[in-house]
A and B are shown apart, each in its own frame.
Chain A
Amino acid sequence: MNDAFARIVSEISKLGMDWHRKTLLDNSLRNSGNGEQSIRNIHPINDAKVLVVSAGPSLYRHGMLARLKAVRATLCLVAIDGAYVQCLRAGVVPDFVMTLDPHPTRIVRWFGDPDFEANSAGDDYFVRQDLDEHFRADAAKRNAENIALVNMHRLVSLLICSTSPVNVAVRTSGMQRYWFAPLVDNPALPGSLTRRIAWITGLPSLNTGGTVGTAAIMFAHCILKAQDIAVIGMDLGYTADTPLERTQSWNMLKGRKDVVGLYPKVQHPQWGECYTDPTYHWYKQNLLVLLKSGGFSITNCTGGGALYGPHVECCELEKWARGSA
């Protein structure tokens, strides 16, 4: 990792805090006092295996959802918002779906966006990335189908962050919702944003590690009290053939002379070479630190990507699901 890469990674957290502070407070204030349940009301499942389904491109590259369908019966599933409709399309209904991102126009698409055209105008965030190839091919038609699919599954439990934007709050209002607040700093310190949000909302706070996939893992550990947690679709890296322009960090890094050096190669000990970028590296670092702090491990069944390290075992989904990880 070169100095420029390390410097960018170290700046991401502060940028996020500076930018999100007002949004986090405003959204939490607006979403508070709705009288709905919180994640406190969810009972531990203890000995069940919990699988977190993230939305990385390995989901379709490795046919993970078809494979998941074959072992679904034995598992408790927590899908992140970006993987939810993909699961439904594959005939897999998760037990929980999680959403936390405060972005005002992007996130609602994961539930089928009634204002899709307006919310997509001038935004290439999803078009560039390799998250859902079918959606890219025919976005408007796909969006209409997603609206119908989500409407058909209103009984799925939604884990929703107090910081969610108003369009997500409205769009999911028919679902069985359990609210939580984000743990974004140390609540014991003066001026803590976490404490302020908790005071406004009355909600318990969950550490997100910067991304919804990590928040889902924290939910499985802290609320479900799961002893055996695995993930799929958590690539946190790009296959070697992914063009740089289709990475999450491209808009941040393009135009720099040292751009190629900001996408270092990663040699996964089990699944071979891929490359990463500052944003994905930051997510990975955060997750590894939280696993260490929590003193627990997860199993990564993604089948590719950059996630490995202390407290992360890697194996195939079927092997883990059948109990021989």
Chain B
Amino acid sequence: MIQGGLKKKSKPNSEIPSSSLADMAFLLLIFFMVSTTFPKEQPRRLPFPEAEQTKKVDEPRKNFLHVYLEKDGSVFINDRLVPMEEVSSVVAPLYEETDRKLVISLRADRDVPYRWVDLVQKEFQEARAVRVTFYTNLEQRVTRERR
């Protein structure tokens, strides 16, 4: 000590720096808060049909209209029961609102008799909303072969 002069004793810090932890957490929090969109309607849980060719539809969310068709032929649009013959009058103003870019996602029960599907399609045609997606769940090949 005397001959070598003053040597600085380096004290290694044994703690993990946690001062920026809160910043990181808030950053992530704000990201998720901003990117979360809450659906405007209550999703109805129906048994949807399965298809191997299920594809993601590349279209802005605001252009989508969900039309639910239940097993007894009742149609629900935006949480409201719409009588079959009034579907076109409900869809038509929405079609105009979206600059005629409306895509209808027809979410029908897989066991609904086809007569209702045909009627609802004719209503869409009447409202000139001709872009329709039949909502399906992806069918895995493996499960299909096992059946």
A-B interaction: no
- Chain B: residues with CB nearer than 8 A to chain A? none
